Structures are given as C-alpha cells and as structure tokens.
Amino acid sequence: MLLSVLRSSVEISALLFGWTTKLHSRMSSSCPPRAALCQMNVTADKRANLRAAQELLEEAKRRGANMAFLPEAFDYIGSSREETLALSETLLGDTMMQYALMARKLDIWLSLGGFHERGCDLEAESRICNSHVIVNNQGEIVSTYRKCHLFDVELPEKGVSLSESAYTIPGPSLVPPVQTPIGKLGLGVCYDLRFPEFSLALQKSGAEILTFPSAFTEVTGAAHWEVLLRARAIENQCYVLAAAQVGRHHDRRSSYGHSLAVDPWGVVTADCGGERAGVALVEVDLDQIHSVRRNMPLQKHRRDAAFYASLEGKSQT
C-alpha cells in the first residue's frame, strides 16, 4: 500500500514537473527576441578596438541579447588611404576569426557591419570592399554583403569631404535577406540608407528588419540620421536597426553616434546617445510587423513598376 502511494506521488510529481517545464518552455519561447545595438568609438588600433567590442558583446549577452549589431568600420578607422588599405584583412584573417570565436563562446549571432575586406587583387586594384558580415552562434559566416553605394561627398561649407571610392570597390549586388534568431534581416551599410529603392527591394524579398551599420559624420548625422531611419521603417513597415560609430577617431574624422532602433510604426525604441560607446537593447516583436502591414497594406496598394516608370522620358514644356 505504502509503495503504491509512493509510486502514485512520484507519478503525479513527474506529471506536474513535465507540465511546468512545458509551460515554462512555451513562456520562454513566446518572449520577443532581443537585439543589442553596440555603439563604438574606434581608432586605427585594431587590438584596442577588438577589446572594446568584446566588452560590449559580453554586456549584450548578459542582458539577454540573441543577436548583437556592431557599426560600420568596427574593426578600425584609418587616418589615411594608405593606412586603411594596409590594415585590411580577408574574411579568413585574424580579426574575423576572433569574432567567430566570440560568437561561439557567447552563443550569440553577430552583425559585423563595414568590415574592411581585402580582396585577392589588392595590389592590382588598390581598393578593398566595405563588407557587412553575418556570423551565427556557431561562429560561421552565413551572409556577406558588400556596400553598393559609396560615400563620395563634398560639402565645403559644412567641412565634410570624403571619397570612399578612392579605397573601396562598390559591391556588385544586394544579397537576399537572411534568417536570424530575431527575424529575417535585410543587409545594408551606412550610405545605402539614403536610397529608398534599396530598402524596398529588401522588403519585397522578405526582410522584416533592415539594418544599416554606420559611421555618419556629425554634420550629416545631425541633419538626416533619425529622419532617414524612421522613414525607411515607416515606408517599409519594418524594424530598422542601426549601430553607429561615435566621437573622434582621428584629427580629421568624428562620428555622430545615436545608434537607433526604430519599430515598424516609426517609433524610436532605443538610442545610444551621441557622447560615448555603449549598448542599447531592443525587443523585436515580429507580430507588430504583421499587424502594421495587415492594418495598412501598403504592398497591396502599391502600383506595378510600369506605373511608376511611366514618367520616364517625359517632361513638361
């Protein structure tokens, strides 16, 4: 009798434990995934930049991030064309190996935006690629996008003069959105943000999140950064995540900061500020994307490509 009672108690306890475990699992799986925006202030010192990034990534993991986003030029910012080229590496080099190890150790996905990627013909071409690399939590590269739009801008009245094409090869094409733990990610880099057709193409290919790792200048950042990010979020009904550089990098270059996360309604949900490096966490609610798109079906209302091209070649006299 006693043995039967004990057996029944054990069975009931096991059932209760199993039910509780399943409930906890369901509750855990229903929690929105978290993205971490890591704002950096890099220099030409690659080792120091790596240490700074590691601290930010460890903080992101402690705070429950499933995926962390680093800014354009997370590896370094050179003070000259010659230094920029000399410090570049291939995707198989030490820098990417170190980040792959961190991703595996921390069990976290990484968006490494704006890696100075050395090509096989560097000596002949004397230019590199500005590459956005996605690394999974096993340390594997799952996608690489080479920046298509290069920042060649002269604003003499505002003190801005940059010619990215002097040391960078424009990427050949967009890459398909990649599935990540926080959603389907469309990859861009910095100046790509200014071209709405770029984001629309990614959204039409299934992107739920657009990401633009950046190093906006202080002048262009103050004028355009937030409004551009919010516009891309609103018109594409996507999350937009943009990790950014901040502060002075060398005597002739400084960045605006304000790493931002924007939701599909255009609300800024995270901002790292414009003063220092740091981490901002944001929950990505994929249901909100579907809700916004269902309630305001822009894609259904959009006319075909021929309609928008109907003015080409026409002009008023």
In the DSSP assignment, the letter for residue 224 is I
Positions marked catalytic: 72, 147, 190
In terms of C-beta density within 10 A (0-12 exposed, 13-18 middle, 19 or more buried), how is residue 301 classed?
exposed
Q: Which residues pair with 163 in a beta bridge?
A: 152
Answer whether 244's CB lies under 8 Å from 216's CB: yes
| Distance separating alpha carbons of residues 279 and 253, to the nearest angstrom | 22
The token duo for 119 is: 């090509």
Buried b / exposed e along 144-160 (16+ C-beta atoms within 10 A)? bbbbbbbbeeeeeeeee
Answer whether 37's CB lies under 8 Å from 282's CB: yes
In terms of C-beta density within 10 A (0-12 exposed, 13-18 middle, 19 or more buried), how is residue 256 classed?
buried
C-alpha distance from residue 73 to each of 44, 45, 242, 311 (Å): 10, 12, 13, 39
Termini Cα distance of the chain: 102
In the DSSP assignment, the letter for residue 27 is H
- According to DSSP H, which parts of the chain are helical? 2-30, 46-62, 81-87, 94-106, 122-125, 196-204, 218-220, 226-236, 286-295, 298-301, 305-308
